[in-house]
Structure 1
């Protein structure tokens, strides 16, 4: 399986390399306020656009990913708490949480 993955990576690398070599002609890049950068290789422009898109995609996905990580950590703590509660001896009483005696007031 590793051989197949490396073969696919090699094919993709060769295709990208050939694409880059075919797109080396210089282009003018127009920016805001009529500012123009002249004679930039096309492959550099495409690489910068790809990198900017990748960064934007990561920034869009990050909040949901962080939310899922916090939820997983909370659920793991809950599992540990429940496992500890089920491991107690039958005659032993479960400790009472302070919130059960005096509930916290809402903020």
Structure 2
């Protein structure tokens, strides 16, 4: 199984590496007021992907916090066994009497 996982990782790495090599020509991102940024196309694509993923994670944080608070306040579901309280500690000498 580990071999299969490493083969899939290697396949993914070499696919992305080939993508980067094939898209190394310069591209231009034009901003407002005549500003432009020139960089290799693969850098622009990967930067856009990374920023989009980061924005998506940050957008989900409030919902995660809300669900976490709700889960902490929630009572156990009906039919869920409630753990018994811990038994009081009995000294070891009490067990020696054959009890």
TM-score by length of 2: 0.67
Shift of 1:58: 0.5
Matches for 1:22-101 after TM superposition, within 5 Å: 22-38=22-38, 40-75=39-74, 78-79=75-76, 83=82, 87=85
| Structure 2 unaligned regions, length at least 5 | 86-99
Query: d(CA) in 1 for partners of 2:10 and 2:67?
Result: 34
Corresponding residue for residue 19 of structure 2: 19
Could you list the structure 1 runs, at least 4 aligned residues long, displaced by more than 6 angstroms after superposition. none
Gaps of 5+ in 1: 88-107
What CA deviation, in whole Å up to 9, does each residue of 1:37-85 have, x standing for no partner? 23x111111111011111111022222222222223233xx45xx947x
| Number of residue pairs matched by the alignment | 82
Alpha-carbon distance change, 53 to 74 in structure 1, aligned in 2, over 3 angstroms = same
**RMSD of Structure 2 on Structure 1 (CA):** 2.5
Question: Which structure carries more helix by proportion?
Answer: 1
Normalised by the size of structure 1, how large is the TM-score?
0.63
Once the two structures are TM-superposed, the CA of residue 26 in structure 1 deviates from its matched residue by 0.9
